[in-house]
Amino acid sequence: MQHFALCHQGLKKADAMRGGDAGTPFFCFAASRCFLSLEAALAFNMLESVTSSSTTAKWKARPAFVSTTGQTFQVTILALIPLTMLNLLRNKQQVSPAPYIFFHSPSGHWWEEGTDPILLNCRSINEEAVQHLLSSLSVNVSKPDALLAWLETNDASYITALHVHLDAYYKAPSAARWSRLFEKLGREATNLQHLSVYWDHEGYLHRGLGKDISFVQALVQLKVTKTISIGGFYAQRWPEYLEEKMGLKPSNDQNIPGSTWSRMLKNYQKGTEGIRP
């Protein structure tokens, strides 16, 4: 039996990759990980209770086993999911407050569902016809080469939010490929206000870039003016290094004392105390 941990970054990516109705129970199997939509969790009666505030919803999960295609998987719903994510999953048709574009294929991209058709059909965001739609632009990327190719004909200064997802599998992009992207964005993404980075980790087989010094050294080339958020699995000293070099204190909404994520992160960070960029 395999055990899978569910995270809100994975939810967002899986739901975006699916591109379907968020009300349908959905399973996405990729890179040895299972992502389960909120609606599917509710449908299978996995959640015991829910409490919410203005910014977060806390779910208490019951152990759940879901059988599909003859296999049984244990699913854990983790402690904290932002309400903005819940809204996205519940109502995929709502228009984003800002244009949102995804780079999760080796080449090409796609826009968030509900994006203005003018943006969908333009060859480049540099065109005058789309300028009024680009007071802000969010980019979600796990394939740096795809974004680099797009930036050859699109102005990086329109990007106001960058969401980086670092996959952990044998063909995942290397730190060197990310470095080329960050070098370009460091020069040209002059209006970057928000940065979020999620380091994936798949045990001893696919460790990801959470302990890679060259990656975090490349990351600090970005010039971010308002917020930095981090998640997933990374070396112990990365947050203080990012704050020192970028001038902003990173936040981690997953790392709640006593939570499952906090325990998983502490276990991952054992032995990384001496890793200094």
User: What is residue 226's predicted lDDT score, i.e. its pLDDT?
Assistant: 97
User: What is residue 43's predicted lDDT score, i.e. its pLDDT?
Assistant: 40
Query: Contact, 15 vs 37, CB < 8 A?
Result: yes
User: What is residue 140's predicted lDDT score, i.e. its pLDDT?
Assistant: 97
User: What is residue 169's predicted lDDT score, i.e. its pLDDT?
Assistant: 85
pTM of the model: 0.67
User: What is residue 44's predicted lDDT score, i.e. its pLDDT?
Assistant: 40
Q: What is the pLDDT along the chain (277 residues), one digit of tens a residue?
A: 223 333 333 434 434 433 433 333 333 333 333 334 444 444 444 443 333 333 333 333 434 333 333 333 333 333 333 444 434 333 433 444 579 999 999 999 999 988 999 999 999 999 999 989 999 999 999 999 999 999 999 999 999 999 999 998 888 999 999 999 999 999 999 999 999 999 998 876 677 899 999 999 999 999 999 999 999 999 999 999 999 999 999 999 988 888 988 999 999 999 999 888 8
